[in-house]
Structure 1
Amino acid sequence: MSNYLAIATVTATLQRTLQASVQVDVDGARVTTVRPDRLNTGSPEAGVNIYLYDILQNTAWRSADLRQRFSNEKYTKQPQTGLDLYYLLSCYGNEVELEPQRLMGSVIRTFNTKATLTQQMIQETVADSTLTFLADSNLAEQVETISISPVDLNIEEISKIWSVFFQTAYSLSMAYKASIILIDSGEIPKKPIPVRSLGRQITPYQPAIAQIKVLEALAKLWQTPQAATPLILATSTLLIQGDRLGAENIQVRIGNVKATPQAVTDRQITLDLSSIPVNSLRAGVQSLQVIHPQQHVNSNVVPILLRPTIQEVTVTNLEVRENDTRSAEVSVLVNVTLEKGQQVTLVLTELSLTQFAGYSFEQTKQRRSNTHSITFTITDCLPGSYLVRLIIDGAESLFTVDTNPNSPTFEQYIGPVVVIS
């Protein structure tokens, strides 16, 4: 690990590394570390500018700062922070002689052959007489290797970076990342206190959910046996299977709602969702958890996808347009509550075996209150009969399947249907 001078030491090391290369490739070129908007006043005519434009915490080291702590607030190891440094390298010079492009090629070649900041490179930077302000840096003692790698930026990302510098002309640029830089607090950890006494503490077994099934065989009409998640409706009966599920007065929590199951064993819990007030259920991904209130333990959390059911579809304000298309307002009534912050999409699929037309209309406006009905304004829709689906936070309503073997539409979708005439 290293002290607070680590970031500046990395920048200075990159500067010295590039300076040794570009001055050979382009006569008189220099490497600077100023803001891009100061290049016209603080830089020579040809050179490369290194600008640190972003610092992010390294995701792989987020949990590395978890330290053992004692009652006297002393720690057994130093706190540390892992960082990734993002640099913008801009090349400038005589465009006629292609100096910026020659310098960029020099930069790419240099960092390709010297993709790691070695201990010797860092030590030489700290010992540089022109960088006396880095004399106390101990970055060279860091065990983790610091690597330099290019960062692919598209036009939009480059434009956002340069837009920060007001009225500054763009220069040929490329981004690089330096990772990982570890900064410690400098505190010296103390030795832990010896154990004086031993005590016992009994922790109850935690219930574990292994899988969730749906009791109704009708669900097989919409899914194959290989489907990863069961089709769950507000009327479904769930079979929650696992280990150590049985206890007294247990509850099942779905989202923010707690329910009492109908049957409980150590390996399986039966929960009829229709016993829960439908107004308490919401469509979309829900968390399910088994609660043992007397033992004060909860099971693992398992996600389920609760699908809405369309109860009624109505069409109003139907208008015929010049190109023979239609515009109208389609209102959809569902069984579950639509919360005002949920994303809802209406999908219309033409009910025809000879031709196909499909439309999608999204409700992006925030609704003022929770409701069971939502109205969509549809435009440029061809006349015809359409199967209706509603997608709420990724949970898609199901079509009605004809289960009459004597019907000409046996095992076909027959509803819900809306007619746009």
Structure 2
Amino acid sequence: MSNHLAIATVTATLQRIIQSTIQADVSGARVTTLRPDSIGTATPTTGVNIFLYHVPMNYMWGNSAEIQRRNRRGEGAVRSRTAVDMHYMISCYGNDAELEPQRLLGSVIRTLTDYKIISRDLIHDTLEDANLDYLSNSDLSEQFAEIAFAPLNLTLDELSKVWSVFFQTPYCLSVAYKATVAMIEGEATGEAPLPVSDRQYGGTSPLAGQPQITEVISDRGRFYPIETSSTLRIRGQHLNGPDTFIRIGAIEAAPTEQSADQLLLNLATLPTDQLRAGIQSLQVVYRQAKADNGKPAPRVESNTTPFVLRPTVQHLEVGQLTGTARRGRNGTVTVESNLPMLPEQRVTLSLHEWSTNDPATYLFEASARDAIATVVDIPIKNVKPGDYLVRLHVDGAESCLEVDQDPESDTYGWYVGPRLLMV
């Protein structure tokens, strides 16, 4: 789900997508998000204006969300959700003698044809923009439904009706697009009280002070990957109980730092042979004081919250090569991960040629395994010779690429590893 910043985040992302392409097609063009009656006064002489003119409810998604809400467990199951679409009027203006509006319109249509879906990476890039710090708390990237763009085929009559609401505003060459769908989740919880199992007088409710986790992220920030060298930041309520510890799978560890609303845990202090790549379940657990009868009280556990732990490629080796350079090479890539992989986990290897000139990309799946292992053999087929960046995917958890951090290097800021040379 997403919070109240979802609509503004969609608009900002759309603005950045279009700006990144039109400036190369029409020199000096800028993208604004003003009312159409501001075109020509508060806008550059050449550009594209994006105006959100209609936000209808999406009842199909809304009804589906209500059904999912009733079937889910935990705190999220009692929060209301509203599904909305966003209708945008995209206007192009500039020097008509040089056909700038028409050139801009073509650039916009081409761009939104390429970007029919807003990826999570595009949303992350938008939220990391220093000029958009007012959107930093947006969690649009976490909603399960992706944002999709589609053109609205408005008739001339419909288009004139839309423009008629802007009093005495000259018409600009325009096209309408719809973005669907943003799932805005409310903050109020607790639609109905829990049933009473037994009436007791005195004492406290078994849920009083129970720890609640709201999110698990990297200590570096919400959008940073979590690896075995990361420090987890666990946010919530009532996290600072007696004898507090954190459970990840079968591991129980004391937090590095703790307070009532936040815990820190350095994953580097945990044994990697007991962790697994992929989706992990995390709970906060603590033991309460002794009960009234003098016996130890049962453990109090929080809700279970998932996070994705990414593997790290430690060693690569290619062998059993056959084939030719012209038809492609076949063989086996042996990959060693720092985290054990279960037999039932899906393991894939992606190769991306380290080149800016039409790079080749490949995706291969590991052979079946019958035991937990840190080393897997992955058959490859029809790969052209070259130098490749390598990523390991375990149940969708993708290993990170290494970035050149040396400011004096010719490849500063580039992805430089891990790499595999295919001869």
TM-score by length of 2: 0.49
* TM-score, with structure 1 as normaliser: 0.49
Larger radius of gyration, structure 1 or 2?
Answer: 1
